[in-house]
Structure 1
Amino acid sequence: MSQPAIAITGATGFIGGRVARALAGAGLPLHLVVRNRDKAPTLPRAEVAVAAFGDRSAVEHALNGIHTMLMVSAAESATRLAGHKAFIDVAAAAGVRHVVYTSLMAAAPDAVFTLARDHFATEEHLRASGMAWTFLRDNFYLDFMPVMVGDDGVIRGPAGSGRAALVSRRDVAAAAAAILRNPSSHAGRSYDLTGPEALCMAEVASTLSTGLGLDITFHDETIPEAYESRRVWDAPQWQYDAWVSTYMAIASGAMSRVSTSVEDITGRAPQSLADFLAAQADPAEAS
């Protein structure tokens, strides 16, 4: 009897794509659920299905016969939670048995980081779905730290002296791939995925300065200053709230706990920010 394929959403993105390549390399059959077929990776033993989270008919067709699935959270939007819930409902109706979901550390109904509230609500919907679940509660991605630097070399935000145990997307993908190879042993488990250390933003700036060969500093804004400085970008209010509360969550201490889950799951120590920057400078390591 042939092994059922593992469905992977977000296979055109970094995490989903990296998981897909790892599992394809292990010889596992895959079902890549994407929005744009032209962007789907070409992999051995991988079929491609086109479906957006909110398209019930397409999702039902894409998940027919699937037992296990990686659900990579959708892009940030005002309607993301509704899309997540609709997708979960169709997955359960289609007979999916186990969902591995990329959530967020400190997800809670009253989380300081506003988008973590959507992750918590998604987790609760999965718990109530009847399907088995595994939650990967990622810390903030250290990959995005260079993006936080302004054109003037300053990182600005109300993070104070709070710390975050930043994790690389590479390590999140490695953990997800390891779990999907043997999902039953991880059913009903929630993992905080972090890097090896918790850094304050001043330390992030210093590490970036060394790793990138630039002069980067951190300016601790007040919350009103943070909102005002971001008004230069035309964005909806929920986006301003998300940008500012990223730093507020760090200040609160909610993102500071260092977990051993990445190494426990993958057998490999997670990247630090310095490790990540060094790898990015080496094309062979960054790929």
Structure 2
Amino acid sequence: MDKIAVTGATGQLGSRVARLLAEREVPQRLIVRDAGRAPSLPGAEVAQASYEQGFREALSGVSTLFLVSGHEGLHRMAEHRAAVRAAAEAGVDRVVYTSFMGAAPLASFTFAREHMETERLIADAGLRLTSLRSTLYADVAPHFVGADGVLRGPAGRGRIAWVARTDIARLAAEVLLDDAHAGQVYDVSGPEAIDFDETARALSAVAGREITYHAETEAEARASRAGAEEWEIDGWVGSYLGVATGEMSVTSHTIEFVTGRRPWTFPEFLQAEPEAWRHLAP
């Protein structure tokens, strides 16, 4: 079996993918910034590198790369360009990339624009792309709630099909193992789209306290983030605007179709992974 490289193996998504591959005895190389933090998995090699340093060498002998997008920030595209260039130079054949739903040059969510650009970089480099365009992680929704129990943002009455990292990892593992997914761009979501009022009610039910949603205007949202850098404000506000416009309301059957199992709804996720919301409990 050809070797698979997994980036982000010390993170929440990459570590899940690496464990699933290890369970299936797949030869893999975990590429991490700090080898001391890499998970110890049977059959897994560890290479220490970043997207901008040592990445080409870390990909030696690798045919398929699971490329987890870099941290949101001013320098992410520079990191992505370096990673894609290194993958092409190392002879990687296929890249499975963690993109974002609605990735497009004029997406409301500014970082979705970067995902579109990264997809193009991969294709232009002659690498076969499998793009996993996921909606917002269900895992992060509880962290949108303020200390006062209010979830604020300019999402209006828009709906979002929250998707759990656990379900994305199941999908990614299957896609990495089947070359038939090369050249595909997949929308990746949970099975139902709910609005932020429904999101707040689901969080209230598990946390045992009242959590509500306040639909801010864009001006209110920007004012509430005053003091942060402009790119950060644009990204934070844009994530909510993408919900308001319907760009994140798509419900896709991708996870169930590929894995044979339906992904969790948002309430099911909260029941299955209480550590995600435990900080909200009184």
Tell me whether the two structures share a fold, i.e. TM-score over 0.5.
yes
Inter-partner Cα distance in structure 2 for 1:214 and 1:243: 26
Is 1:206 the counterpart of 2:206 in the alignment?
Answer: no
| Corresponding residue number in structure 2 for 1:223 | 218
Is 1:87 the counterpart of 2:83 in the alignment?
Answer: yes
Inter-partner Cα distance in structure 1 for 2:15 and 2:228: 29
Is 1:117 the counterpart of 2:113 in the alignment?
Answer: yes
Moved over 4 A (4+): none
Query: What SS does the aligned partner of 1:276 have?
Result: helix
Correspondences of 1:138-157 after superposition (within 5 Å): 138-157=134-153
Residue identity matched to 2:195: C
Q: CA deviation at 1:250?
A: 0.4
Q: CA deviation at 1:122?
A: 0.1
| Corresponding residue number in structure 2 for 1:251 | 244
The Cα RMSD (Å) is 1.2
Q: CA deviation at 1:4?
A: 2.7
Inter-partner Cα distance in structure 1 for 2:48 and 2:205: 43
Inter-partner Cα distance in structure 2 for 1:274 and 1:27: 33
Inter-partner Cα distance in structure 1 for 2:275 and 2:94: 37
Identical positions, percent:
47
| Corresponding residue number in structure 1 for 2:36 | 38
Is 1:181 the counterpart of 2:177 in the alignment?
Answer: yes
- Equivalent residue in structure 1 for 2:187, among 186, 192, 197: 192
Query: What SS does the aligned partner of 2:62 have?
Result: coil
Is the CA contact 1:162–1:253 (under 8 Å) kept in the aligned structure 2? Answer: yes
Over 3 Å counting, the alpha-carbon distance change for 1:237 and 1:282 in structure 2 is closer
For structure 2, the 5+ residue unaligned runs are 277-282
Inter-partner Cα distance in structure 2 for 1:282 and 1:144: 11
Inter-partner Cα distance in structure 1 for 2:203 and 2:234: 25
TM-score for the superposition, normalised by structure 2 = 0.96
Is 1:274 the counterpart of 2:272 in the alignment?
Answer: no
Inter-partner Cα distance in structure 1 for 2:273 and 2:161: 19
Deviations 1:13-42 (A, max 9, x none): 011101101001101111001001011000
Is the CA contact 1:212–1:277 (under 8 Å) kept in the aligned structure 2? Answer: no
| Corresponding residue number in structure 1 for 2:279 | none
TM-score for the superposition, normalised by structure 1 = 0.94
Residue identity matched to 1:243: W
| Corresponding residue number in structure 2 for 1:28 | 26
Query: What SS does the aligned partner of 1:172 have?
Result: helix
Q: CA deviation at 1:273?
A: 1.0
Deviations 1:114-146 (A, max 9, x none): 110110000011111111110000001111111
Inter-partner Cα distance in structure 2 for 1:282 and 1:69: 30
- How many residue pairs were aligned? 276
Residue identity matched to 1:221: E
Is the CA contact 1:110–1:117 (under 8 Å) kept in the aligned structure 2? Answer: yes
Residue identity matched to 1:141: Y
Q: CA deviation at 1:54?
A: 1.2
Query: What SS does the aligned partner of 2:139 have?
Result: helix
